[in-house]
Amino acid sequence: MFILNQQNSIANTYLAEIRDTKIQTDRLRFRKNLERLGEILAYELSKSLQFGTKEITTPLETTGINMVKSQPVLICVLRAANPFYQGFLNIFDHSDSGFIGAFRTEEINDNQEISIELSYQAAPDISGKHVIIIDPMLATGKSFVKTVKSLLNNGKPEKIHVASVIAAPEGVAYINEQLGTDLNLWTCALDSKLNEKSYIVPGLGDAGDLAFGPK
Protein backbone atom coordinates (compact mmCIF):
# COMPACT_ATOMS: atom_id res chain seq x y z
CA MET A 1 0.00 0.00 0.00
CA PHE A 2 1.33 3.43 -0.97
CA ILE A 3 0.89 6.16 1.69
CA LEU A 4 1.65 9.60 0.26
CA ASN A 5 2.14 11.66 3.43
CA GLN A 6 4.95 9.38 4.58
CA GLN A 7 7.07 10.76 1.78
CA ASN A 8 5.62 14.08 0.68
CA SER A 9 5.43 17.00 3.08
CA ILE A 10 3.50 19.22 0.63
CA ALA A 11 0.70 16.66 0.79
CA ASN A 12 0.68 17.10 4.57
CA THR A 13 0.03 20.83 4.20
CA TYR A 14 -3.08 20.15 2.09
CA LEU A 15 -4.16 17.32 4.40
CA ALA A 16 -3.84 19.59 7.43
CA GLU A 17 -6.10 22.18 5.78
CA ILE A 18 -8.86 19.73 4.82
CA ARG A 19 -8.87 18.31 8.38
CA ASP A 20 -8.74 21.61 10.28
CA THR A 21 -12.21 22.75 11.42
CA LYS A 22 -11.06 26.38 11.16
CA ILE A 23 -10.11 26.03 7.49
CA GLN A 24 -12.20 23.19 6.04
CA THR A 25 -15.39 25.32 6.04
CA ASP A 26 -13.96 27.31 3.13
CA ARG A 27 -15.52 25.09 0.43
CA LEU A 28 -13.52 26.46 -2.43
CA ARG A 29 -10.26 25.81 -0.59
CA PHE A 30 -11.47 22.38 0.57
CA ARG A 31 -12.24 21.30 -3.01
CA LYS A 32 -8.98 22.80 -4.30
CA ASN A 33 -6.95 20.90 -1.70
CA LEU A 34 -8.67 17.62 -2.66
CA GLU A 35 -7.87 18.36 -6.29
CA ARG A 36 -4.22 19.10 -5.45
CA LEU A 37 -3.95 15.85 -3.49
CA GLY A 38 -5.47 14.02 -6.48
CA GLU A 39 -2.81 15.50 -8.74
CA ILE A 40 0.08 14.47 -6.48
CA LEU A 41 -1.29 10.95 -5.92
CA ALA A 42 -1.91 10.53 -9.67
CA TYR A 43 1.68 11.56 -10.34
CA GLU A 44 2.97 8.96 -7.85
CA LEU A 45 0.67 6.31 -9.32
CA SER A 46 1.84 7.12 -12.85
CA LYS A 47 5.28 5.77 -11.92
CA SER A 48 3.74 2.28 -11.61
CA LEU A 49 2.31 2.34 -15.15
CA GLN A 50 4.01 1.05 -18.26
CA PHE A 51 6.02 3.57 -20.26
CA GLY A 52 6.67 3.55 -24.00
CA THR A 53 8.51 5.77 -26.44
CA LYS A 54 6.48 7.95 -28.74
CA GLU A 55 7.97 9.84 -31.66
CA ILE A 56 7.08 13.50 -31.92
CA THR A 57 8.25 16.06 -34.41
CA THR A 58 9.40 19.46 -33.23
CA PRO A 59 10.04 22.25 -35.75
CA LEU A 60 13.70 21.10 -35.69
CA GLU A 61 13.69 17.29 -35.60
CA THR A 62 11.85 14.08 -34.79
CA THR A 63 12.64 12.73 -31.34
CA GLY A 64 11.47 9.94 -28.98
CA ILE A 65 9.67 10.88 -25.75
CA ASN A 66 9.10 8.41 -22.93
CA MET A 67 5.49 8.57 -21.73
CA VAL A 68 2.74 6.50 -20.12
CA LYS A 69 1.75 3.95 -22.77
CA SER A 70 -1.95 3.79 -22.14
CA GLN A 71 -3.78 6.18 -19.83
CA PRO A 72 -5.78 4.50 -17.06
CA VAL A 73 -9.57 4.50 -16.85
CA LEU A 74 -10.73 6.76 -14.01
CA ILE A 75 -13.81 5.87 -11.98
CA CYS A 76 -15.33 8.70 -9.95
CA VAL A 77 -17.51 7.58 -7.04
CA LEU A 78 -20.24 10.21 -6.75
CA ARG A 79 -20.57 12.61 -5.17
CA ALA A 80 -17.70 13.11 -2.72
CA ALA A 81 -14.97 12.07 -5.20
CA ASN A 82 -15.59 14.88 -7.69
CA PRO A 83 -12.78 17.28 -6.65
CA PHE A 84 -10.24 14.50 -5.94
CA TYR A 85 -11.14 12.88 -9.30
CA GLN A 86 -10.56 16.23 -11.03
CA GLY A 87 -6.96 16.12 -9.78
CA PHE A 88 -6.47 12.70 -11.39
CA LEU A 89 -8.07 13.94 -14.61
CA ASN A 90 -5.71 16.94 -14.68
CA ILE A 91 -2.79 14.49 -14.79
CA PHE A 92 -4.32 11.70 -16.92
CA ASP A 93 -6.01 14.13 -19.27
CA HIS A 94 -6.70 11.62 -22.05
CA SER A 95 -8.30 9.07 -19.74
CA ASP A 96 -11.74 7.62 -20.25
CA SER A 97 -13.88 8.16 -17.16
CA GLY A 98 -16.71 6.28 -15.52
CA PHE A 99 -19.13 7.47 -12.83
CA ILE A 100 -20.82 5.44 -10.12
CA GLY A 101 -23.17 6.72 -7.42
CA ALA A 102 -22.61 5.13 -4.00
CA PHE A 103 -24.41 6.17 -0.85
CA ARG A 104 -24.89 5.04 2.73
CA THR A 105 -28.44 3.92 3.51
CA GLU A 106 -29.99 4.72 6.87
CA GLU A 107 -30.26 1.00 7.59
CA ILE A 108 -27.80 -0.51 10.06
CA ASN A 109 -27.72 -4.31 10.28
CA ASP A 110 -27.67 -6.48 13.45
CA ASN A 111 -23.88 -6.12 13.68
CA GLN A 112 -24.30 -2.32 13.69
CA GLU A 113 -22.79 -2.16 10.20
CA ILE A 114 -23.85 0.45 7.67
CA SER A 115 -24.90 -0.65 4.23
CA ILE A 116 -24.00 0.89 0.89
CA GLU A 117 -26.19 1.11 -2.20
CA LEU A 118 -25.00 1.82 -5.73
CA SER A 119 -27.17 3.93 -7.99
CA TYR A 120 -26.22 5.66 -11.23
CA GLN A 121 -23.50 3.90 -13.24
CA ALA A 122 -21.94 4.97 -16.53
CA ALA A 123 -18.59 3.28 -17.12
CA PRO A 124 -16.59 2.35 -20.21
CA ASP A 125 -15.19 -1.06 -21.21
CA ILE A 126 -12.27 -1.72 -18.84
CA SER A 127 -10.87 -4.85 -20.56
CA GLY A 128 -7.08 -4.95 -20.41
CA LYS A 129 -6.91 -1.50 -18.78
CA HIS A 130 -5.50 -0.08 -15.59
CA VAL A 131 -8.54 1.21 -13.69
CA ILE A 132 -8.33 3.73 -10.85
CA ILE A 133 -11.33 3.83 -8.53
CA ILE A 134 -11.39 7.21 -6.86
CA ASP A 135 -13.21 7.91 -3.60
CA PRO A 136 -11.75 10.25 -0.96
CA MET A 137 -12.71 8.35 2.20
CA LEU A 138 -11.83 4.65 2.47
CA ALA A 139 -13.86 4.03 5.65
CA THR A 140 -15.54 0.60 5.81
CA GLY A 141 -14.33 -0.24 2.28
CA LYS A 142 -17.87 -1.31 1.32
CA SER A 143 -18.41 1.23 -1.43
CA PHE A 144 -15.05 0.37 -3.01
CA VAL A 145 -15.84 -3.37 -2.89
CA LYS A 146 -19.33 -2.89 -4.37
CA THR A 147 -17.94 -0.57 -7.04
CA VAL A 148 -15.22 -3.05 -8.05
CA LYS A 149 -17.70 -5.95 -8.22
CA SER A 150 -20.11 -3.93 -10.32
CA LEU A 151 -17.35 -2.69 -12.64
CA LEU A 152 -16.18 -6.21 -13.39
CA ASN A 153 -19.33 -6.49 -15.58
CA ASN A 154 -17.52 -4.06 -17.91
CA GLY A 155 -14.59 -6.39 -18.70
CA LYS A 156 -11.50 -7.88 -17.10
CA PRO A 157 -9.02 -5.12 -16.27
CA GLU A 158 -5.23 -5.46 -16.33
CA LYS A 159 -5.02 -3.94 -12.85
CA ILE A 160 -7.33 -2.25 -10.35
CA HIS A 161 -6.06 0.67 -8.28
CA VAL A 162 -8.00 2.06 -5.34
CA ALA A 163 -7.25 5.72 -4.55
CA SER A 164 -8.31 7.57 -1.41
CA VAL A 165 -7.39 10.72 0.49
CA ILE A 166 -7.79 9.16 3.93
CA ALA A 167 -8.03 5.43 4.66
CA ALA A 168 -8.96 3.53 7.83
CA PRO A 169 -7.23 0.23 8.68
CA GLU A 170 -10.65 -1.50 8.92
CA GLY A 171 -11.49 -0.52 5.32
CA VAL A 172 -8.10 -1.66 4.02
CA ALA A 173 -8.54 -5.03 5.77
CA TYR A 174 -12.08 -5.41 4.34
CA ILE A 175 -10.90 -4.71 0.78
CA ASN A 176 -8.04 -7.21 1.10
CA GLU A 177 -10.40 -9.82 2.56
CA GLN A 178 -13.11 -9.35 -0.12
CA LEU A 179 -11.00 -8.69 -3.21
CA GLY A 180 -7.61 -10.24 -2.43
CA THR A 181 -4.34 -8.38 -2.39
CA ASP A 182 -3.92 -8.27 -6.15
CA LEU A 183 -5.09 -4.67 -6.36
CA ASN A 184 -3.01 -1.62 -5.62
CA LEU A 185 -4.06 0.67 -2.76
CA TRP A 186 -3.02 4.33 -2.86
CA THR A 187 -3.86 6.79 -0.10
CA CYS A 188 -2.68 10.22 1.00
CA ALA A 189 -2.96 9.26 4.70
CA LEU A 190 -3.73 6.17 6.78
CA ASP A 191 -5.65 7.15 9.93
CA SER A 192 -6.21 5.32 13.24
CA LYS A 193 -9.69 3.79 13.17
CA LEU A 194 -13.43 4.10 12.51
CA ASN A 195 -15.83 5.43 15.12
CA GLU A 196 -19.20 3.83 15.99
CA LYS A 197 -20.83 5.64 13.03
CA SER A 198 -18.14 4.36 10.64
CA TYR A 199 -16.50 7.76 10.28
CA ILE A 200 -12.72 7.86 10.02
CA VAL A 201 -10.85 9.11 13.12
CA PRO A 202 -9.20 11.60 13.20
CA GLY A 203 -10.41 11.97 9.59
CA LEU A 204 -12.06 15.18 8.46
CA GLY A 205 -15.82 14.68 8.85
CA ASP A 206 -18.13 14.25 5.86
CA ALA A 207 -16.15 14.89 2.68
CA GLY A 208 -19.23 15.22 0.45
CA ASP A 209 -20.93 17.74 2.75
CA LEU A 210 -17.75 19.79 3.14
CA ALA A 211 -17.24 19.95 -0.63
CA PHE A 212 -20.85 20.51 -1.69
CA GLY A 213 -23.00 21.25 1.35
CA PRO A 214 -25.37 19.05 3.37
CA LYS A 215 -27.73 16.67 1.56
For ligand URA, the binding residues (CB under 6 A) are: 80, 137, 139, 199-200, 203, 206-208
CB 200 → ligand URA: shortest distance, Å? Answer: 4
CB 168 → ligand URA: shortest distance, Å? Answer: 8
Closest CB to ligand URA among residues 93, 196: 196
What's at 80, amino acid-wise?
Answer: A
Closest CB to ligand URA among residues 19, 159: 19
Strand pairing partners for 200? 194
Closest CB to ligand URA among residues 41, 194: 194
Q: Please check whether residue 169 is in contact with residue 193, taking contact to mean a CB–CB distance below 8 angstroms.
A: yes
CB 207 → ligand URA: shortest distance, Å? Answer: 4
Closest CB to ligand URA among residues 80, 126: 80
Contacts of 162 (CB under 8 A, 6+ apart): 132, 133, 135, 138, 144, 148, 175, 183, 184, 185, 186
CB 107 → ligand URA: shortest distance, Å? Answer: 16
Closest CB to ligand URA among residues 8, 140: 140
CB 109 → ligand URA: shortest distance, Å? Answer: 17
